[in-house]
Amino acid sequence: MFPSISSSKQKQNITTIGFYNVENLFDTIDNPSTADDDFTPKGKKQWTYKKYKIKVKKLGSVISQLGMKRSKYPPAIVGLVEVENAKVVNDLVNSSYLRKHHYGYVHHDSPDERGIDVALLYNKITFELLSSKSYPIFLKDDKGDRDYTRDILKVSGNLHGELIHILVNHWSSRREGTAESEHKRITAAETLRNLIDTIREKEMNAKIIIMGDFNDDPNSKSVKEYLVKGDFYNPMESLLDVEKLGTTTFNKKWNLFDQIIFSENFLEKEEGKLYFKHAEIFNKKWLKILKGKLKGSPFRTYIGPWYQGGFSDHFPVYAFLKKKD
């Protein structure tokens, strides 16, 4: 049965926005300035070029499928975290599943001690890149010294002719403990709100998309109280609270750290303007571990020191935008 002309037109009118924590997308070359030694052929992970190429191909396969069920095309925009450098992002956009889809990318080096950064892929046909800049988050460790982390990446451009601003984040982990590290994520949220204020000083009704791995859930203090106020809408909150879904697991507990958040003007259906339609987690069966004590959790590249050959320890998330006729 062939789709009707109206359903085909409706698919073309839907744009997908994605986000993916790609879990340690390192090349195999040692960078003496960062702690990337594990991800080298002679390092603890025995990270070879063959393993690297397999991971890049698998990640490209996932990204190419985000939103395809409702839209005719792969995502127009994809935020990425845990990429080592511009080279790995370039390899990703030129991999077998993505090279035909006209992706450009934005990457800025962050001062993170492990050498992992954030980046943005964009379809050069549907998104016109205007500017990009990275913004540091100033944290202190227990000794009062600077604790270096990932910058916030701001990208501005025209999506289907409409100016939008995208803010890509990767906030501090919970490795030290959730409560012990909470202040770092609150600082990140405050830094992000200051950046939003700066955007709105120049453009009062700016359309803003926040995305990232926040290492906190939608109902956590940093996100719920410090970031998502009345001027933003977080569709991921209902996925966690109502549908009980998550993007990553720790000690068999699901968390929804990966989120895409929209300024409230994306809820307004104005003629010729993009508006928010729906958000989902891309958690297909083939992206999951199929047996054992981790059954159902994301099929990752490594479990501890053991190579698994999976995709990532996070599921990607995506959202649909539609333009009012």
Q: What is the mean pLDDT of the chain?
A: 94
pLDDT tens column, 160-177: 999 999 999 999 999 989
Contact 155, 129 (CB under 8 A): yes
Position 2 confidence tier, pLDDT thresholds 50, 70, 90? very low
Position 276 confidence tier, pLDDT thresholds 50, 70, 90? very high
Position 142 confidence tier, pLDDT thresholds 50, 70, 90? confident
Position 7 confidence tier, pLDDT thresholds 50, 70, 90? very low
The structure's pTM equals 0.95
Instruction: Please identify which residue in the block is written with the tokens 């998330």.
Output: 317
pLDDT tens column, 101-126: 999 999 999 999 999 999 999 999 99
157 membership: H or E segment, kind and range: strand 152-159
Tokens of 5: 């002309």
Q: Phi first, then psi: give them for residue 226, nearest 5 degrees.
A: -100, -25
**pLDDT surpassing 60 at residue 71:** yes
Query: Chain-centre distance of CA 7, in angstroms?
Result: 29
pLDDT tens column, 185-216: 999 999 999 999 999 999 999 999 999 999 99
Q: Where are the domains of the chain?
A: 5-323
Q: How many percent of the chain have pLDDT more than 70?
A: 96
Please list, in sequence order, all residues whose beta carbon lies within 8 angstroms of the beta carbon of residue 130, skipping any fewer than 6 positions away. Answer: 156, 157, 158, 163
Q: Is the dihedral of CA 43, 29, 112, 313 positive or negative?
A: negative
| Architecture per CATH, 5-323 | 4-Layer Sandwich (3.60)
* pLDDT for the residue 251: 84
Position 11 confidence tier, pLDDT thresholds 50, 70, 90? low
Q: Phi first, then psi: give them for residue 147, nearest 5 degrees.
A: -105, 105
Q: H/E/C letters for each residue in 245-305?
A: CCCEEECCEEECCEEEEEEHHHHCCCECCEEEEEEEECCCHHHECCCCCCCCCECCCEECC
Q: Residue range 41-58: average pLDDT?
A: 97
Q: Residue range 287-301: average pLDDT?
A: 94
* pLDDT for the residue 33: 92
* pLDDT for the residue 9: 46
